[in-house]
Amino acid sequence: MSDPDLNLLLTLDALLAEGSVAAAARRLRLSPSAMSRSLARLREATGDPLLVRAGRGLVASPRALELRERIGPLVQAAQAALRPAAALDLARLAREFTLRTREGFVENFGAALLARVAAEAPGVRLRFVPKPDRDSTPLRDGSVDLETGIVGPASGPELRTQALFRDRFIGVVRAGHALSQAPVTAARYAAGRHIAIARRGSHRGAIDELLAGAGLQREMAVTVAGFSEALALARASDLIATVPERHTGTLRDGLHSFELPLSQEDFTVSLLWHPRMDGDAAHRWLRGCLREVCA
């Protein structure tokens, strides 16, 4: 059996509402002959005459009266689904958004973002999940709505991105550390014992390349997975942590931070999302909140 022609639902709705082939034709801007052909197809599809002549007019069959209660709401729902989305009502919005970020983001920007969301859309909940890698699958499959990070080769090529803020690496040591007592040179920085931060693979990065260009190399005493762990070790030892400045602002309270004595380039932390969410008004509103909070 072939699939039914769903366009016939509009025809049937008009015929049942008007009770006349001519009036239904005018309503749908069709010719009377075209409407008559559609009625014939409806009769064939339903196995029922639907509209039967009575004098000069047409009367609905019992089957048509039964369908009239179902077809009208069905057509209205279909028409509503194909209209542009209604204006976003933030006061009545009830939704949960999942954001994937590295450690430090929630500590630095979470409170301001929550305050902004609560003031504008009290029915919205935020769920922060850790970002152990740069795999774009969670954005593609919809398990994550937004994520923050550095756009690179591992990012999905179809993803939408927007810059949030610029950042740079800085050195961090405990209060009273030797590097907090005098200007830090590249040689003094490299001579200390360092904490490597590596989620996976080699712990060598851009800082090591800059040091190598100056004929220097730093000793890695320990490797950890994230900024929080590195700063906790720096706080309780003479080890040196090298972390992003803006991303770790509140995490560095009570520690001594210093500018690296190297000609490093800043990097951009961006917002990433899947293009299927471009037209979602609530998603667009949350992206705007994040941009303003991080500005």
CATH of the domain at 238: 3.40.190.10
Structural domain includes residue 1? no
Structural domain includes residue 281? yes
Cα of 215 vs its chain's centroid, Å: 44
pTM of the complete model: 0.69
Sign of CA dihedral 146, 148, 152, 153: negative
| Backbone phi and psi for residue 282, each to the nearest 5 degrees, phi listed first | -70, -40
Q: Total structural domains in the chain?
A: 3
Determine the pLDDT at residue 201. 57
Tens digit of pLDDT at every position of the chain (295 positions): 456 677 788 888 888 888 888 888 888 888 989 988 988 988 888 888 888 888 777 888 888 888 877 887 777 777 666 666 668 899 999 999 999 998 889 999 999 999 999 999 999 999 999 988 888 889 988 999 999 999 887 777 889 999 999 999 999 999 999 999 999 999 999 999 999 998 665 567 889 999 999 999 999 999 998 899 999 999 999 999 999 999 999 999 999 999 999 999 999 999 999 998 988 999 999 999 999 999 8
What one-letter code names the amino acid at 96?
E
- CATH code at 43? 1.10.10.10
Same domain, 183 and 132: no
Same domain, 227 and 261: yes
Cβ–Cβ contacts within 10 Å for residue 1, how many? Answer: 3
Same domain, 105 and 54: no
Which range of residues forms the domain containing residue 43? 7-81
Same domain, 104 and 127: yes
Same domain, 133 and 179: no
Structural domain includes residue 156? no
Structural domain includes residue 270? no
Q: How many CA atoms lie within 13 A of 97 on its CB side?
A: 26
% of the chain surpassing 70 pLDDT: 94
- Give dist(CA 167, CA 172) in Å, integer: 15
Same domain, 41 and 99: no
What one-letter code names the amino acid at 11?
T
Structural domain includes residue 159? no
Same domain, 139 and 279: yes
Determine the pLDDT at residue 83. 64
Determine the pLDDT at residue 200. 63
Structural domain includes residue 40? yes
Same domain, 97 and 59: no
Structural domain includes residue 12? yes
- Domain termination residue (choose one: 26, 56, 81): 81
